[in-house]
Amino acid sequence: MKPRLSHVVEYAALRAVSGLLGLLPHRVALALGWGPARLIYFFGRRLRERTRDRMRQALGGDRPDREWDRLGRLAFRNLVFTAVEGMRLPSIRTEWVARHFDVGALQEVRDELAKGRGLIVAVPHMGNWELAGIALQSQGIPLATLVRKQKNPLMNDWINRLRMSTGVEAIETHRRHEVATMPERLAREGRALALLPDVRSRKGGVPVRFLGVEIEVPGGAAHYARAGGTAILTAEVVRTGWMRHGWRKTGWIEPDPSLPEDVDRRRIMQYILDRFSESVRAHPENYFWFNKRWVLADEEGR
């Protein structure tokens, strides 16, 4: 698709911002991003109210509005920090990751990959999920992830180049052959596949209960697990303060070939979303409450 003028302008502006942020010290770059974003959140009444409503729906309880607003502000700050770090990916080195990222369960991951069947890593949209992939890659664990194609072709190519510059392989979901052959690749190459399945499925999803709400989510993790006899490790990524990150295993599940496929897919996906619910409730300030297509409700008319 030929880029439109709006695509070129958007691309040029973000490349300029990315170049500036890459030249600055990490903490200064975060502060530069959070300064105007904090004003946006402070004056964005509709943004604050929507975030508060989503947190109430997912977390429940009788917390006062000021507590919801505090959590929402921290979550928005963490989202901005994640965006800033995403634009700084080419300047983030392995040494920085080693100093600021605590990576757990690495030996379990290596042991599983040594079995020759690959591994699926399922994480929710928490903390800096992109940086978590880089952390695993920096520890010698080959990692691939599935990504959606961006509407702006210039932005799409640039974002994928940023991901690939870290060694993480980004596979666009519309490339059907590559997606379909992923189970074989995981086994053949001793690779881990990172997925973020806490999104609402447009059609043909797997019914699960997530954060107290009945929804349908994509069943890709369960499909790949059954197709390749591959285990699934669930994990959470949590930011502490400005620049400390933690990657922690939260669960482990194997496919059960003795079960009918639809039963096993639902069992696997429910297990994953149960672990995600626990993570979100324990670290609400790290969750992505700002998705345009809110996972728990369509929110039409709000």
Place of tokens 């954060």: 211
Which residue did the predictor score with more confidence, 87 or 34?
A: 34
Average the pLDDT over 178-201 and give the result. Answer: 88
Which residue did the predictor score with more confidence, 114 or 266?
A: 266
Give percent of the chain above pLDDT 90.
Answer: 54
| Contacting residues for 278 by C-beta, under 8 A, at least 6 apart | 250
The tokens of 92 are what? 């983030």
* pLDDT per position as a tens digit, 46-86: 999 999 999 999 998 788 989 999 999 999 999 999 999 98
Q: How far is CA 220 from CA 29, 179, 224, 266, in A?
A: 36, 10, 6, 11
pTM, 2 dp: 0.90
What pLDDT does 103 receive?
A: 80
> From edge to edge, which strands make up the β-sheet containing 232-240?
101-103, 244-253, 232-240, 119-122, 192-195, 143-147, 169-172
Phi–psi pair at 237, nearest 5 degrees: -120, 125
What pLDDT does 300 receive?
A: 57
Average the pLDDT over 31-44 and give the result. Answer: 93
Average the pLDDT over 115-133 and give the result. Answer: 88
In which band, very low, low, confident or very high, does the pLDDT at 94 lie, cut at 50, 70 and 90? confident
Report, in angstroms and rounded to the nearest whole number, the Rg of the chain calculated over CA atoms: 19
Domain ranges of the chain: 5-286
What pLDDT does 301 receive?
A: 47
User: How many C-beta neighbours within 10 Å does residue 145 have?
Assistant: 18
Average the pLDDT over 273-290 and give the result. Answer: 97
Contact between 282 and 138 (Cβ < 8 Å): no
Average pLDDT of the chain to the nearest whole number: 88
Return the HEC string of the chain.
Answer: CCCCHHHHHHHHHHHHHHHHHHHCCHHHHHHHHHHHHHHHHHHCHHHHHHHHHHHHHHHCCCCCHHHHHHHHHHHHHHHHHHHHHHHCHHHCCHHHHHHHEEECCHHHHHHHHCCCCCEEEECCCECCHHHHHHHHHHCCCCEEEEECCCCCHHHHHHHHHHHHHCCCEEEECCCHHHHHCHHHHHHHHCCEEEECCCCCCCCCCEEEEECCEEEEECCHHHHHHHHHCCCEEEEEEEEECCCEEEEEEEEEECCCCCCCHHHHHHHHHHHHHHHHHHHHHHCHHHECCCCCCCCCCCCCCC
Which residue did the predictor score with more confidence, 7 or 66?
A: 66
Average the pLDDT over 156-167 and give the result. Answer: 77
Of 82-91, 102-111, 282-291, highest mean pLDDT:
282-291
pLDDT at 99 over 60: yes
Which residue did the predictor score with more confidence, 58 or 170?
A: 58
* pLDDT per position as a tens digit, 207-222: 999 999 999 999 999 9
